[in-house]
């Protein structure tokens, strides 16, 4: 399997790198029953069904006693900004100033198309400049395996993928690049469990077992999974997460577009963390008020006294999007999330 550095523009690809001529104008990534639930949440607000099934760890927690070797930060879904520019508040920059790497889910593609299917995620290249203001691009890993990666087909996806690389960001998520190794120690593997359009060119759950790296000190699973606008994960997702933790060292998920619990579970080799969803980090649609919150998190990883790599100290905060004027949206830390008022 190729690494990120072995792929060059213009090379031949396998059969998975192809266009699909049959686009759905109204995409439906969910089965009918789940689609109905999504529409209900979209109208009436995020659901709190299954409350208590997963709980938040404290905002500052020690998961295991380790010797820190690397500090990794995560942000939520990077969504389209439409006519707005994303402004990174100093509170966010301060939170991440001591991390070695930053990881985020880049939802959609950079394209000159003005519109696509309903809900298509169209990015302007300017979003990359905002992200550069947050953290150095050569230390920022952007994931491109998500349900909007296929909104405009293979060629637009590939063009966008190359643009992000040309801005010096690290990148992961094309089907031949499902993983990225940080400092030859931490393997970050991503896979999308759903797609709005037929899409064969992103990493996926069916090949997930091959993404685990036995030679890595620490394996991070970074899945695009779950259900939108659900505050708590569904029981099958919690069961699935615990099964994954039998092998993977850390799970940080995306897709739900609202903050979900960051939980810790005992495992054979110490405690392991699942961040079910970090919600949204950016979004330029003011009327989508339920999508304006997320989580930011950072954590130390390194060996314990027996040399086994684990998660150590972990810190997280809620983030919120504020529409300051007709041109700018500011993302900043906020102490509370109105749908989780009991979380301090």
Estimate to the nearest angstrom the gap between the alpha carbon of 108 and the chain centroid.
Answer: 12
Q: With CA atoms as reference, report the closest residue to 150 among 280, 281, 19.
A: 19
Residue 12 maps to a domain: no
45-to-253, 259, 290, 313 alpha-carbon distances in Å? 21, 13, 7, 33
133 secondary structure, DSSP code? H
The pLDDT assigned to 8 comes to 36
Residue-level pLDDT at 12: 56
Looking up residue 155, the CATH number of its domain turns out to be 3.60.21
Distance CA 72, CA 126 (A): 25
Q: Would you say residue 14 lies in a domain?
A: no
pLDDT at 137: 98
| pLDDT in the model for residue 210 | 97
- Reduced to 3 states (helix: H, G, I; strand: E, B; else coil), residue 174 is strand
What are the phi and psi torsion angles at 16 (to 5°)? -70, -20
Alpha helices in 135-228 (DSSP H): 153-166
In a domain, 20, yes or no: no
What integer pLDDT is reported at residue 33 of this predicted model? 83
pLDDT at res. 25: 85
Q: What is the pLDDT of residue 18?
A: 81
- DSSP letters, 64-103, are S-----EEEEEEEEE---TT-EEEE-HHHHHHHTT-SEEE
Structural domain containing residue 236: 25-340
What's the pLDDT at 19?
A: 78
| CB proximity list for 13: less than 8 A, separation 6 or greater | 176
What Cα–Cα distance (Å) separates residue 198 from each residue in 90, 147, 202, 344?
A: 40, 10, 11, 41
On whether residue 240 sits in a domain, the answer given is: yes
- pLDDT recorded at residue 21: 62
* Residues 90, 92, 97: CA angle, nearest 5 degrees: 90
In a domain, 2, yes or no: no
Structural domain total, the chain: 1
Nearest-angstrom CA–CA distance, 279 and 194: 17
pTM of this structure: 0.94
Q: Is 284 exposed, middle or buried (0-12, 13-18, 19+ CB in 10 A)?
A: buried
Compute the distance between CA of residue 111 and CA of residue 96 in angstroms, rounded to an integer.
29
If we measure between CA atoms, which residue out of 47, 90, 59 comes closest to residue 335?
A: 59
Please report the pLDDT score of residue 32 as a whole number.
84
Q: Is residue 9 assigned to a domain?
A: no
Render each residue's pLDDT in the chain as its tens digit; 344 residues. 333 333 333 445 688 988 776 678 888 788 888 888 888 998 889 999 999 999 999 999 999 999 999 999 999 999 999 999 999 999 999 999 999 999 999 999 999 998 888 899 999 999 999 999 999 999 999 999 999 999 999 999 999 999 999 999 999 999 999 999 999 999 999 999 999 998 999 999 999 999 999 999 999 999 999 999 999 999 999 999 999 999 999 999 999 999 999 999 999 889 999 999 999 999 999 999 999 999 999 999 999 999 999 999 999 999 999 999 999 999 999 999 989 988 87
Asked whether residue 76 is domain-assigned, the answer is yes
Element at 237 (helix H, strand E): helix 235-244
Residue 171 lies in a domain: yes
Q: In the beta sheet, which residues pair with residue 62? A: 313
Give residue 6's pLDDT. 32
15 by Cβ neighbours in 10 Å (0-12 / 13-18 / 19+) ranks as exposed
Going by their DSSP bridges, the two strands 328-334 and 309-323 should be labelled as antiparallel
- How many Cβ atoms sit within 10 Å of the Cβ of residue 324? 11
pLDDT score at 3 = 34
pLDDT at 172: 98
In which region does residue 163 sit, left (phi positive, over 0), alpha (psi from -120 to 50) or beta (all else)?
alpha
Give 134's contacts (C-beta < 8 A, 6+ positions apart).
Answer: 88, 92, 93, 96, 102, 140
Per the structure block, which two tokens stand in for 92? Answer: 């966010």
């Amino acid at each position: 399997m190729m690494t990120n550095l072995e792929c060059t523009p213009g090379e031949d690809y396998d059969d998975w790198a192809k266009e699909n001529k049959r686009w759905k104008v109204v995409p439906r990534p969910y089965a009918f029953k789940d689609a109905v639930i999504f529409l209900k949440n979209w109208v009436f607000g995020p659901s709190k069904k299954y409350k208590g099934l997963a709980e938040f760890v404290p905002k500052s927690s020690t998961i295991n006693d380790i010797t820190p070797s690397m500090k990794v930060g995560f942000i939520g879904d990077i969504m389209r900004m439409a006519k707005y520019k994303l402004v990174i508040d100093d509170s966010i920059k301060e939170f991440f100033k001591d991390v070695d790497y930053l990881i985020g889910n880049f939802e959609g593609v950079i394209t000159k198309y003005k519109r696509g299917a309903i809900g298509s995620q169209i990015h302007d290249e300017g979003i990359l400049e905002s992200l550069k203001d947050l953290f150095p691009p050569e230390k920022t890993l952007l994931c491109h395996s998500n349900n909007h990666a296929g909104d405009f087909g293979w060629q637009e996806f590939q063009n966008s993928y190359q643009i992000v690389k040309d801005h010096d960001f690290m990148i992961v998520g094309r089907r031949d690049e499902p993983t990225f190794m940080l400092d030859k120690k931490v393997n970050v593997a991503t896979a999308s469990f759903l797609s709005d359009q037929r899409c064969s060119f992103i990493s996926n759950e069916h090949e997930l077992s091959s993404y685990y790296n036995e030679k890595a000190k620490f394996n991070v699973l970074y899945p695009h999974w779950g259900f939108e606008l659900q505050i708590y994960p569904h029981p099958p997702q919690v069961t699935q997460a615990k099964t994954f933790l039998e092998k993977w060292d850390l799970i940080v998920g995306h897709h739900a577009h609202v903050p979900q619990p960051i939980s810790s579970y005992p495992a054979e080799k110490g405690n392991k963390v699942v961040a079910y969803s970090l919600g949204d980090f950016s979004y330029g649609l003011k009327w989508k008020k339920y999508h304006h919150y997320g989580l930011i998190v950072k954590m130390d990883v390194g060996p314990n006294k027996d040399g086994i790599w684990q998660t150590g100290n972990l810190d997280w905060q809620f983030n919120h999007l504020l529409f300051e004027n007709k041109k700018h949206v500011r993302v900043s830390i906020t102490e509370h999330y109105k749908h989780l008022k009991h979380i301090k």
